[in-house]
Structure formats: C-alpha cells, structure tokens
A and B are shown apart, each in its own frame.
Chain A
Amino acid sequence: MKRNACLIPLYVWTAVFVLFPLAIVVYFAFTRDTGNGVALSFESFTRLSDPMYLGVILKSFKIAIISTLICIFVGYPVAYILARSKSKMKLVIVILMLLPMWMNFLLRTYSWLSILENTGLVNTLLAAVGLPKIRFLYNEGAVILGTVYNYLPFMIMPIYITLLKLDESHLEAAADLGANPVQAFLRVTLPFSVPGILSGVSMVFVPSVTTFVISQLMGGGKVPLIGDVIEQQYRVVNDWHFGSALSVVIMVIVLVFMYFINRGDVESNNGNGGRLLR
C-alpha cells in the first residue's frame, strides 16, 4: 500500500505529460475543422494514402536504419575498447566522449556546416594542397553523418555499461574450454552485450526516424524526412489535423518496432545468451 502511494507522482506525471498530450494528438488526427466546429473525420488519413507520404516515411526509416547500423559498427568497438581498457585515462575518455553533449545540439550541428561547407574548413584545406573540393553537404550522406554524430554516444554508453558487467572469468572459462579469442568474443562477449546493443538501438533509432533539425540543416531542405513534414504542418501551413495524423502513423510504426526490440531483449535475458547466434 505504502509503495503504491509512492508511485502516485509517477502516475500524475505520466497522465499530465504523456497521456494527455497524446490524447490531444489523437483527437486532432481524427478530426477536421469544418468551418463551423470540429467534426470526426478520416480525411487526414485518406490524404496520407498519397504515395508521396509513403515515400517520405520509407526514406526516414532508411536513413534511420543506416544511421543506427553505423552507430553499432562504430560504437561497439569504442565501447568494447573502453570497457576492456585498464588505462587510468578511461574515465577521462568517457567524459571527453560525453563532453560535446553538454553543448547545445543545434550548435553542434551548425558547426558541422562550417566544417563541411564549400568554403568551410575541410574544403579550404583541400584547396590549399591542390585537391579538388568535395560537396559534402545537403544530401542524404550529410543527414546520415549528422544523425550518427549526434546519437553515437547513445549507442556507446549502454553497450559500454553492459560490457563493464561482463566478468573476466567467463572469458577465462571459454579459453580453458578451448575457445580462441574470436570464438570467445562471438560466443560469450557479444551475446552478453545484446541487451546493451538493443537499448542503444532504441535510443538511436527512435530519435533519428523523427528528426527534423538534422535533415533541415545538413540536408538543406532537399532531404525531407517525415519529421520535416510534421514540423511543417504545425509551424508553417497550420494544419494540425494532418500533422497529428502523420504523428499517429509514425508512433504506431515506432511502437511496433519497439515491441520487437523489447521482445528480443527479453529473450536474450531469459535464455542462455547465445541463442541469437546459434
């Protein structure tokens, strides 16, 4: 009983800051302003059937999936090296990695513009040594770069923390039983770190699929993602009904995605870790 009472603030918080706003979004999604009052309508969803919007949703997922994969392949080795390292500098390195996060997200993305633009740092250096300039910005690659850069720490940290918990004796046991280091990694370390990877994936994938700032700045408005279309409905064209309908669709897709992620998480925790790889 007493424990339940302690949870009341949590319930109130969730109701006020999660459920209530969500209800408003759903309300807007299924209504239309008819001129004299608001009426139930599926107009926003019929408009969504235009293949153009499906295209944007697919592109958003494509960019988010690529970014998440890059984050795994870059983030895992970093987390692994950090976790295994006995260096006294370990804490310093972790702090250095998180340091840019203390600076505003927009500022960090704007700095990439000054580094990569045609008259920016990299191209000026290239030109100085007689190499041709490269157009880095305003394409899908730039959007992926911006996404990876901004969300990479969210991949590294959960993997790092999981790997810290891995007891060295497991690896010694694997070696005793005849596993070479590669086998030990694939059979012991990697399965053990799956929960870390999965939580990293959900922390990177969900914000990347809905981002609009990165695609606007790094993509120059030429790589519109679903987040941009939603933002435009709210901010520029003042069609909150359509914007809400788009948000609801994205939320449902992301929820389904998260469901599978969590199921994978539960499985890898319940069974013996190696199941995924056998």
Chain B
Amino acid sequence: MKKLIVIMCAAFVLLFSSCKDDRETVKVYNWGDYIAPGVIDKFEEETGMRVIYEMFETNEDMYTKIKNSNNSYDVIIPSDYMIERMIAEDMLAEIDMSAITNYANIDEEYKKLSFDPENKFSVPYTWGTVGILYNKTMVSEAPDSWGALWDEQYKNNIIMMNSQRDAIGITLKYLGYSLNELNPKALGAAKQKLIDQSPLVLTWVVDEVKDKMIGGEAALALVYAGDAVYCKGYNEDLEYVIPKEGSNIFFDSMCIPANCENKSGAEKFINFMCREDIAAENAEYIGYSSPSTPARELMGDAGKDPTAYPDIKKYNLEIFSSLGDKTKIYDELWTEIKTSMGM
C-alpha cells in the first residue's frame, strides 16, 4: 500500500513538473474574435514567450474588469473614447516608442489622434466605421438612412448591437445630434427612440451578429465595418452602407495598463503586431481596417475593399470622445433603455 502511495505521489510530481512552463508570459486582453488565429503562435515561436489571451465583448466590459479586479494584463486593445477615459484615470502606462520599431509602418493620419494627442499611450491596431449590414434579397430597397432600422416593414428582421455608445450614438446621429451629445433633451429623445424600436428588433447581440447575418437570420444589422467585411466573405447577398446622416469612425489601439507585469514583453507584442506581414495577415482575417499602408499593400484586393477603406471624407464621420464624469448619464440611460425593452 505504502509503495502504491509513493508511486502515485511520484506520478503526480512528474505530471505537474512536466506542465510547468518557464516561458516569459504576456497577458493580452482583446475583443472577441479580433485576432488572426496563427498570429499568436508565430509570436510565441519567434520570441519564445507565452501569450495568455483573454477576450472581452465591449469596451465597458473591459474597463469594469481592469478597474475592479486584481487581474493584470500587459496589452489591452480599447477604442478611442475608452483610451481617453483610461488616460484621464491614470490607468495606462506610457509606451516606450523606441521599442516599437515597426511604428513607422503606421500611417501618419492615424497617429496623434484626439484621444491621445501626443501618442504616448496607444499604438493603432485597427480602425473602422459603424454602419448597416443588409441582406440584398431581404430588403425592398437598399437602405441609405438609419431610418431603415426603424422601418416597420423590417419588424423582427433587425439586429441591434448590444453596445452602449454605439447603439445610443447612431440613434443620436439619426436624430441629427452629435454622437457625444450630453444635452438631456437629445438624450431623452434617443432613449425613447430606442425603446420605440424594440418591437421591431429581432435580437441584441455583439459578436453573434456575424453568424446570424451570414445565415440569413435577419435583413438588417447594426455592425462594425470589419464584421461586415467578414460576413460579406461568407455570404454574397450582404452589403454594407454608412448611412447619410453620418456615423462613427473608431480607432482601436494597443495600450499597456498601468498595472502590467511585463512591460517589455508587452512592447515586443505591440511591435510584433505592427510588423507589415503580421498586420496584413491579421487585418485580412478579422476584416477590420489596417492603419498601415505597407500592410495594406501586402493584402492585395482586400487592402482596397471599399467597405473597410471607404473615402472617409465623403461621410459625416465623428469620433466618440470620452464623457469624463458624465459617463454616468449614459450608463443610467443605457440601464433604463435595456430595462424598458418589451414592457
């Protein structure tokens, strides 16, 4: 019996010692389905580091987790307004730009944007617009206005995006206001508009929109342009439009949280993601627009797709700005909208 116990203990020790991994780790926290599958393997192969990869669904999810848990990440990929908010709350570390040798690959127009004017905290990952993805076989005419999402004939055929700023933002835009509106009257109108819309909406989702639109579950969906590119690749009936009232242009950038544990590893990862071949492979897979011309050149036709690379001057596009301490107004508005659905 004693012998058996000794053997079992030995087996245990062996089992666990073989699992032990001495590699340096980089913890990456990114959006769901937002990286090409092979890219992480390549990074691990080239650097000998190990990537611990976790995903979030919306900027707000990510913020809440970083703010409240002791879990630290080395690289996170928030959007513009969230970066601005995190900088203001001292949640981000300055990136050592001399370590990001591939930073030169990024086009000048994507640097020093309003949310990080000196470009000390963020390195562009992707950008894109928000618009309507529609199924040509299921609509009576090609939509060109946000009004299509409020059109009675598409009852139960509309998929909305379960993301606070995006859903409220496009409603404000439809009503002729700014995406960053704080005027209570405008916000009240937007809230009512979204509650009125609820009987027409099939479902509220974020990442699942892709499967549903490819499968033909709904006629119209509020989507990020990158997801539209992805869906169009699987279903030829789908088309993307930026409505005439204007929309949001967003920038998702790589940042390092202030409480990171491996800053130099994080910088290596960021630098790796900026390398033209990697950026091209990544952008081609996820469908979101690359801020790097050298990468786009490697992508061939995909680098010229008008869905991903529209002539941005043609549209009335606006960046989300951080609402600072007014964020609470949007938070309460969102709670009220989501609570009033189906009442």
Contacts and interface: CB of A to CB of B under 8 A. Distances in A.
Most buried by B among A52, A119, A221, A235: A221
Contacts of A220: 201-205
A222 interface: yes
Interface of A: 52-53, 55-56, 59, 117-119, 135, 137-138, 140, 219-224, 228-229, 232-240, 242
Given A117-B217, A237-B331, A238-B67, A232 B338 contact: yes
Contact of A52 (B204, B216, B336): B336
A13 to B, nearest CB: 23
13 contacts: A220-B202, A220-B204, A221-B160, A221-B205, A233-B335, A234-B64, A235-B60, A236-B164, A237-B334, A238-B64, A239-B335, A240-B68, A242-B335
Given A119-B217, A237-B335, A239-B331, A223 B58 contact: no
B336 A238 contact: no
Contacts of B68: 238, 240
A235 B163 CA distance: 12
Interface centre among B212, B216, B335 (most CB of A within 10 A): B335
Contact of A138 (B162, B202, B339): B202
Contacts of B212: 117
B285 interface: no
Contacts of A228: 338
A12 B75 CA distance: 39
Contacts of B198: 222
B88 to A, nearest CB: 14
A56 B338 CA distance: 10
Given A52-B336, A237-B335, A224 B64 contact: no
Given A236-B60, A238-B63, A238-B64, A118 B335 contact: no
A236 B334 contact: yes
Contact of B204 (A221, A234, A239, A240): A221
B86 to A, nearest CB: 13
Given A223-B342, A238-B68, 9 more contacts: A52-B336, A55-B343, A220-B202, A220-B205, A221-B203, A224-B339, A224-B342, A236-B58, A238-B67
From B198, B201, B203, B216, name the one whose CB has the most chain A CB atoms within 10 angstroms.
B203
Contacts, number: 84
A53 B339 contact: yes
Interface residues of B, number: 33
B334 A222 contact: no
A242 B334 CA distance: 14
A232 B333 CA distance: 12
Nearest to B56: A235
Contacts of B217: 117-119
A236 B339 contact: no
A132 to B, nearest CB: 14
Interface in B304-343: 331-332, 334-336, 338-343
A229 B162 contact: no
Given A228-B338, A232-B338, A222 B60 contact: no
Contact of A236 (B61, B156, B203): B61
A228 B204 CA distance: 13
Given A135-B156, A236-B61, A229 B339 contact: yes
B32 interface: no
Contact of B341 (A117, A224, A236, A242): A224
Given A117-B217, A222-B198, A237-B334, A52 B64 contact: no
A238 B339 CA distance: 16
A219 B201 CA distance: 11
Contacts of A223: 341-342
Contacts of B300: none
Give 7 closest A-B pairs by Cβ, nearest first: A220-B203, A221-B204, A237-B331, A236-B60, A238-B64, A222-B342, A119-B215
B61 A222 contact: no
Contacts of B332: 237
Given A220-B203, A234-B64, A52 B331 contact: no
A35 to B, nearest CB: 8
Interface in B34-74: 58, 60-61, 63-64, 67-68
